């Protein structure tokens, strides 16, 4: 949701279908085949179940009506084709209506491993499988409703909650190995391996800490927050999140665990 992009999203036809080029379908195939081999033993069970339920094509970009049919049956959600970048207001509005925004372009070969902007692989492969899960779907809906009613200043703090859960969240259920549920990780081959390695810091999820933790979108994350079960998202949804936002604003931010971004001259 920045203000500049080099990508141009496709416009679907009246039936919601997009005529992707052979080159774009080949990029999807390469991304899918490489990443799907990383999933076993790394992605959480709820994600793997959702990936199986969606039954998305491995050799072409899925059409949104195909995804919608499964999501509507599972949790009442559907996708919404959007431009490459949308405003915070539009983002929250869509989630509040149980519509998941999908930018309908696919990344270039030059940004194959890591993309700062959400493309269709990130949205469909990274997020949509978990939208078949009731807890994940409910949390996403609640988040949209909160964001829609929040002030501009409050939305900055809410963005951190989304970042460290929906985008870059980890889960470790009792007697189970550490696993990934965040779509930003699941759609990135590099971060899938990195997030479960010994390099980053991992902390148990604490709402106030999450709201006070800065992040950068253009690096591997130095810290991840871990929930103890995918159903814990229901518990977060029941928390008084906005009162914690107020407290986080009063306490201020933690010291960043990364160097500041160097601006181009």
Known catalytic residues? 122, 127, 167, 187
What is the gyration radius of the CA atoms in the chain, in angstroms?
18
Q: Scanning the structure block, which residue is given the tokens 């930018």?
A: 103
Tokens of 5: 């992009």
Tokens of 129: 């499988």
> Kind of pairing, strands 170-171 and 223-227?
parallel
Q: Whose CA is closest to 30, among 59, 72, 71?
A: 59
d(CA 143, CA 26): 34
């Amino acid at each position: 949701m920045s203000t500049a992009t080099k990508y141009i999203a496709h416009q679907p036809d009246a039936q919601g279908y997009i005529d992707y080029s052979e080159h774009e379908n080949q990029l999807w195939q390469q991304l899918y085949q490489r990443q799907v081999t990383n999933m076993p033993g790394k992605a959480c069970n709820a994600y793997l179940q959702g990936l199986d339920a969606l039954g998305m094509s491995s050799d072409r970009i899925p059409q949104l009506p195909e995804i919608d049919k499964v999501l509507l049956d599972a949790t009442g959600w559907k996708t919404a084709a959007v431009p490459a970048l949308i405003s915070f207001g539009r983002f929250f509005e869509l989630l509040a209506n149980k519509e998941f925004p999908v930018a309908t372009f696919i990344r270039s070969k030059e940004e194959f491993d890591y993309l700062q902007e959400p493309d269709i692989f990130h949205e469909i492969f990274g997020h949509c499988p978990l939208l078949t899960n009731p807890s994940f779907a409910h949390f996403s809906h609640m988040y949209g409703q909160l964001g829609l009613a929040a002030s501009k200043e409050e939305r900055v703090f809410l963005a951190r909650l989304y970042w460290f859960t929906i985008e870059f969240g980890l889960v470790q259920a009792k007697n189970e190995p550490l696993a990934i549920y965040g779509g930003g990780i699941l759609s990135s081959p590099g971060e899938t391996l990195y997030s479960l390695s010994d390099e980053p810091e991992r902390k148990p999820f604490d709402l106030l800490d999450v709201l006070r933790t800065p992040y950068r979108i253009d690096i591997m994350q130095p810290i991840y927050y871990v929930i103890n079960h995918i159903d814990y998202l229901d518990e977060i949804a029941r928390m008084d999140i906005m009162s914690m936002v107020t407290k986080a604003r009063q306490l201020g931010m933690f010291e960043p665990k990364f160097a500041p971004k160097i601006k181009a001259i």
